[in-house]
Amino acid sequence: MNPQMLFSQYFEIDQKCLDEYGALNICLEADLPLFVDPFLLFSSPDANYQALHDKIVGHLIFLRNLAVDNPNIGLPLFQFPEIPQNWLGLCKWGNSGKGLGPKFAKNIVNAFNGFYRNFGSEEVTDSSHIEKLTLVGSGIGRDFISDFTTNLMLEFLLKYTEKFSEKYLSDKQVRTFSVRCDFDESLMIWKPKSFKLPCFYKGDRDEDFILLTPVNILTKDDAFICHSDFTNQFRYIANSLSNATLRDSVNSYFARRLPANPKKVDIEKAINETVQKYPEILDYYIKKKELEKDKASALSAEKVKRLRDELLSTLTEFCKHLFTNSNFYQTPFNCYDEALKRARFLKEVIENNDGYRIFYKNGKPIASEDTVQRIFRLTWFASPIDVNSEVNNGRGPADYKVSFGSRDSTIVEFKLGSSSSLSSNLKNQTEIYKKASKSISDIKVILCYTQAEILRVSRVLKAIKQENAENVIVIDATRKVSASKVP
């Protein structure tokens, strides 16, 4: 088995081909936590991107008109499936998301007949922005931006990928696929078109196409216009209103809704109530973001670069190391034994075979637990074992559930030694997850970047009487002194 997790590896092309074309080198085992930010289309000097933004906003206005004219309209037109073939999203394993289903459709129809009835007729901003629908509590969250945007620009992505295929891939690597991507407003249906696209084989006969996405329209975590940024800047926006009467009214209304010594939840509630009373403040916030549009691409580019440096390059190097120096991908499949052997082997590689270097970028540790979990999780990609991340069986999500059939399963929790909740997690969390998932056993893997973290973890394990437990693997990822320098 040759680890071919990245698009460039699977199709045996140089990474430089993707870089020159401007496309992201996606992972074909799990979604990368990125999405298209529609504001990057709006703020781009590229006329094609600007036209895409107009198309996306225009379709949302079309839906608003349908919803306002007929509040009881059927919901299918307001539902948008996940587009899994771009391998972008929040899935830590695989590429299957939920999409925007009936619940979303009902929420957006209600929103267009309520608070967002006037969407598309803004006078303060230069353009309408679909992100506006995520700024206050209407049941329309961040997933809407990703799924709606991808669906509306699907034809663009298909043509973009087809053009890459024509230039860099052989005839044996592509197939013709028919994809519904063209919306006919008169018939109100999505019509199919055919494209020659990279073909990805998921089994002997199971094949699917792959979509490439331009790097310069991707971002991570939050869109440039988002709820968290709006709440953080609310007071600044309110105090910056040029209309003195509106400014005084907004500030007075907001202040009256704050209790003494307000907590974060109190502030957010007061903001929400103020926006309900003075909805135009959303447009002034968006106008401020439009004036700052030059910052958008730089901020997103830095987020994407960080993810590529910390996750993709780290993952590639790590899996090559495992494949070259071990039988890691041929481990027999008893779930507990396999998970334990893999955890121990990771410990050996990191502590004694310079594997720790992979977990540092520019001399600094990769401190994000989410990033480390993704790296750890993707080292299972060639295993016949079923490994599901963040399985939630009623008591909160566990990091991983490793299973082979219904009776052979293990919960794996992967933590950083710096975690403030480490003690309670080690003592209670996996036991709760085991009961909820009916798992037979559990393994706890703890990555430590400093000697202080190692000592702290040792004290915690001793306090809960697990210092010699077989299923607790403490990995020393501290930077090592070169053997030539050891006296």
Give the residue from 447, 353, 436 showing the smallest Cα distance to 396. 436
Asked whether residue 206 falls in the same domain as residue 180, the answer is yes
How confident is the model over 256-277, as pLDDT tens digits? 999 999 999 999 999 999 999 9
pLDDT of amino acid 390: 47
Q: Is the pLDDT of residue 67 over 80?
A: yes
Task: Say if residue 148 is in the same domain as residue 275.
Answer: no
Rounded CA gap, 366 and 380, in Å? Answer: 20
Give helix 264-277 / helix 280-291 axis angle, nearest 10°.
Answer: 110
Q: Is 89 within a domain?
A: yes
Going by pLDDT thresholds of 50, 70 and 90, the confidence category of residue 13 is very high
Q: Which tokens go with 144?
A: 């809407």
Beta strands in 339-458 (DSSP E): 360-361, 364-365, 386-392, 397-403, 409-416, 441-448
Residue 128: name the closest of 182, 69, 55 by CA: 55
Judge contact between 33 and 321, C-beta under 8 A.
no
- pLDDT score of 362: 73
| Domain-located, residue 302 | no
- Assess whether 208 and 239 both reside in one domain: no
In 442-451, which positions are buried (b, 16+ CB within 10 angstroms) versus exposed (e)? bbbbbbbbee
How confident is the model over 74-128, as pLDDT tens digits? 889 999 999 999 999 866 556 667 788 999 999 999 999 999 999 999 999 999 9
Domain ranges, residue 443: 326-485
CA 16 – CA 45 distance, rounded (Å)? 24
User: In terms of C-beta density within 10 A (0-12 exposed, 13-18 middle, 19 or more buried), how is residue 437 classed?
Assistant: buried
Tokens of 29: 């085992």
Based on the domain organization, do 386 and 269 belong to the same domain? no
Helix ranges restricted to H, 137-180: 142-152, 154-168
Q: Classify residue 368: in a domain, yes or no.
A: yes
Q: Is residue 317 part of a domain?
A: no
pLDDT of residue 71: 80
Of 203, 224, 245, the one marking the end of a domain is 224
Q: How far apart are CA 361 and CA 357, in angstroms?
A: 8
Same domain as 105, residue 52: yes
Contact predicate 190/181, CB 8 Å = yes
Q: Provide the β-strand partners of residue 441.
A: 410
Residue 234 lies in a domain: yes
Write the CB contacts of 100 (distance below 8 Å, at least 6 apart in sequence): 78, 79, 80, 81, 143, 144, 147, 148
d(CA 466, CA 449): 21
For residues 199 and 133, state if they share a domain.
yes
Residue 246 in tokens: 């509106």
- pLDDT tier at 7 (50, 70, 90 boundaries)? very high
384 and 264 share a domain? Answer: no
**Same domain for 157 and 89:** yes
Count of the separate structural domains present in the chain: 3
Instruction: Answer yes or no: do 79 and 217 share one domain.
Output: yes
User: DSSP secondary-structure letter at 483?
Assistant: G
pTM over 0.75: no
Last residue of a domain, which of 224, 245, 270?
Answer: 224
Q: Would you say residue 371 lies in a domain?
A: yes
